[in-house]
Structure 1
Amino acid sequence: MNEPAQEWRASAVRQVEADPRAIHRLFPQAERRGGPGARRALLGALRGDHAVIRSLYEAGDSGERLAILAVLHELGLEDAAVALVEDALRTNDARLVAAALGPYGSTWLDDHAFRQGVLKCVFMSIPLAAVAGLDRRFDAELARMLSDYAAELRAAGRPVPRDVLERI
C-alpha cells in the first residue's frame, strides 16, 4: 500500500475511534482512498457499535454491504447483526447471499434460516463451498430439502449441481 493510502487509513481510523459517526462520511471513500482493507479497519475501529454498523449497512451500496458482511464475525457482535444477514439473504445479489452465509451467518442464523440460505445458494448457482460451516450445520432436514430440489430438477430435465449430488 502506498504512503498516502496508509496515511489516509490511519487518520480515518483515528477519526472513527474518536467519533463513530465519522464512519458514515469515511466508509464510502475508504477503498478508493485507503486501499484494500480500509473498510475492515474502519469497522474494527467501531469496537462493535452495533447501532452504527446497522445504520451503515442500511445506507450502504452493495459493495459497502458486502464489506460489512465479510467482517461481521470479527466485530464481536454476538447475535446482534443477524438481521443484516437475513436482509442480505433476501436480495438477488449473489455476492451478498454468499457473504451472508460466511462465518458470522453460519454461526448465528437459526437452523431454518441457515437451511433456506443454503437452498438459495443452490438456486442462485453459488457453490456450496462458499457456505462457511456447512459440514458442521448440515443435517437431515437440509439433506431432505436438497434431495427434493434435486428431484425437481431431474423431473424438469435439468442437471443437478455436482456439489448438491455430493451432499445427498
Structure 2
Amino acid sequence: MTSVRPLVRPAELRAALLPDAVEALDDMLVDLAADPTRLGRIFPAAARRTARGQVAGTDHRVEDAVRVELVGAAASRLSPPDLLAELQAVYRYGDADEKRAVVLSLGAVDDQGIDGSEVLLDALRTNDVRLVAAAMGAHADRLSTHDWRHAVLKCLFVGVPLAVVAGLATRADDELAAMVRRYVEERRAAGRSVPEDALKLLDLITSTTVQET
C-alpha cells in the first residue's frame, strides 16, 4: 500500500488542537482504518470537526495537516489506483480548501505509480494562489515538460513565489527562459513592473547554461 508523508509531525498537529478536536481526529482515523472508502464523506467535515488556522512554527495550516493525515490513513488500506480514484473524487466535489488539501496530499504521496497530474492541471487553471502554489510541489514532477513550463509562467502571472516550485533549479531550461523573456518584454512594453522572480529565474537559467558549457 501507499504511504503519505504528514505535513507536520503528528505530535505538532495534536498540540495545535483542543482536546475535543484531537478526539475527533482520532475518531476519523479509526473510521478510515475500518473503511478507507469513507474518505470522501469524512474529508469535507474534517476542518469543522477539528480546527482551522496556522500550525505554530510551520508554514502549514491545521486543516491541511488534518486532511493529509486522513489521506495517509486511507492510503495505508487502499491500492494506488483506488487511492487516486478517491482523491480525484474528493477533489472534484470539494471546495477550494478541500481541493488544496488533495493537491498537498498528492505532493506527500510516496509512490511514483500514482499520477495525479490531471488534478494538478485543473488546479493550475484556477487563479487561486494557494491552490496554484500547492500544485507546484513535489507531485509536479508528473507534469509533462510543456505543462510544467506553462505552470511556472502561471506562477509569475498570479504572484506565486517561485521558491515553492519543486525542482526548479534542475528542470528550468532554455525554452522556459524564452517564455519568461517574452513575458518580461511584454510587461515592460506595457509599462508594468516585472516580478523580481522572473529576473531571478532568467539569471538561474543563464548561470546553469554557462556551467554546463
Q: So what's the TM-score if we normalise by structure 2?
A: 0.74
CA distance in 1, matches of 2:33, 2:190: 55
CA RMSD of aligned residues (A): 1.4
2:178 pairs with 1:123: no
Whether contact under 8 Å (2:162, 2:197) holds in the other structure is yes
Match of 1:13 in 2: 29
Which structure 2 residues correspond to residues 133-144 of structure 1 after superposition, within 5 A?
Answer: 133-144=167-178
The letter of the residue matching 2:121 is: E
Going from structure 1 to structure 2, the CA distance change for 1:61 and 1:77 (only over 3 Å counts) comes to farther
* 1:77 to partner: Cα distance: 4.6
Which of 31, 56, 67 is equivalent to 2:90?
Answer: 56
1:134 deviation in Å?
1.1
Q: Which consecutive unaligned segments of at least 5 residues does structure 2 have? A: 1-16, 52-61, 203-213
TM-score between the two structures when normalised by the length of structure 1: 0.92
User: In structure 2, what is the Cα distance between the partners aligned to 1:73 and 1:128?
Assistant: 16
Aligned residue in 1 for 2:129? 94
Structure 1 residues 58, 77: CA separation in 2 closer, same or farther (over 3 Å shift)? farther
1:2 pairs with 2:18: yes
In the alignment, the residues of structure 1 paired with residue 37 and residue 160 of structure 2 have an alpha-carbon distance, to the nearest angstrom, of: 35
Of structures 1 and 2, the one with the larger relative CO (CA 8 A, separation 6+) is 2
| 1:12 Cα deviation after fit | 0.5
Q: How many residues align?
A: 167
Which residue in the other structure is 2:68 paired with? Answer: 40
Of 37-46 and 60-69, more deviation after overlay is shown by 37-46
Task: State the 1:50 CA deviation.
Answer: 1.1
In 2: Cα distance, 1:167 partner to 1:53 partner: 33
Q: Which residue of 1 aligns with 2:106?
A: 72
Give the 3-state SS of the residue equivalent to 1:46 in structure 2.
helix
Contact 2:115 2:142 in 1 (8 A): no
Match of 2:138 in 1: 103
Displacement of 1:21 after TM fit? Answer: 2.5
Whole-angstrom distance in 2 between the partners of 1:75 and 1:132: 14
> CA offset at residue 80 of structure 1?
2.1
Letter in 2 for 1:165: L
SS at 1:167's partner residue?
A: helix
User: 81-90 vs 28-37, which deviates more?
Assistant: 28-37
Tell whether the 8 Å contact from 1:20 to 1:52 is kept in structure 2 after alignment: no
